[in-house]
Amino acid sequence: QTAGHPIGAIASLPLEDIMSLVGEQERSGSPLIKDALSALKALDPERMDHEFERALKVLGRLELIDGYVFPFISGIHTAVGNGTLRSAHLSFAQTRLREFLSLLASSVAVSEDAPRLVLSSAFGLEHEPGLLGSAIHAAAAGWRTIRLSPGTPVEELAFAAAENKARAVVYSIIGLNQASGAIAEAIMLR
């Protein structure tokens, strides 16, 4: 998935096929992601926006999330971890992505009477690009999304869901090994 293959396309593949895809990615890399990482190194907002727009044109709205945004973020985390990039680069990329994906999410036309969906993530486990990606996918599937900021207390999520007669809540938890409190909150939310 980090190499840009959507989970739906690889989930049922045999292990040998998955390993082959990983090998191809390691040999070639994703040109779109490489170009975005190059723009990121320069901390160039116009170039970053250009790279995001280019990826959108090449991949389309839904493939952009799984095949580009998540691998891009993963690549940044790896680069920060090995010292190739700094945390300022990660912060810059998250800000640019948040702005870009927010515009993309709000541009999806959804019927006024569509079922409502409330989205947020656990405190300390914020992954806003993931939430925005979920909102984009949900809107494409016909849901009217109500996004609350990452870390919103579960009592407030429940209030927002009840107030808007939401039919579902997306509560994102990243990294279960760090999320025991978040799991307890998810149980309380349910």
Confidence bin at 187 (pLDDT 50/70/90): confident
CB 83 within 8 A of CB 134: no
Mean pLDDT of 67-74: 84
* pLDDT tens column, 98-108: 899 888 888 88
Hunting for tokens 């640019």 — which residue is that? 96
List the structure tokens of 78: 């790896």
CB 129 within 8 A of CB 97: yes
- Percentage of the chain lying above the pLDDT 70 cut: 86
Confidence bin at 122 (pLDDT 50/70/90): confident
CA dihedral 90, 96, 101, 104 (to 10 degrees): -160
Rounded to whole angstroms, the Cα distance separating 181 from 85 reads: 31
Which pTM value belongs to this model?
A: 0.69
Q: Give the pLDDT of residue 151.
A: 82
**87-106 vs 45-59: helix crossing angle, rounded to 10:** 50
* pLDDT tens column, 28-67: 447 888 889 999 999 999 999 999 999 999 888 888 887 8
* pLDDT tens column, 131-164: 888 888 898 889 999 999 888 888 999 999 999 9
Is the pLDDT at 178 greater than 80, yes or no? no
How many other CB atoms are there within 10 angstroms of residue 51's CB atom?
Answer: 24
Rounded to whole angstroms, the Cα distance separating 159 from 5 reads: 37
Rounded to whole angstroms, the Cα distance separating 139 from 109 reads: 8
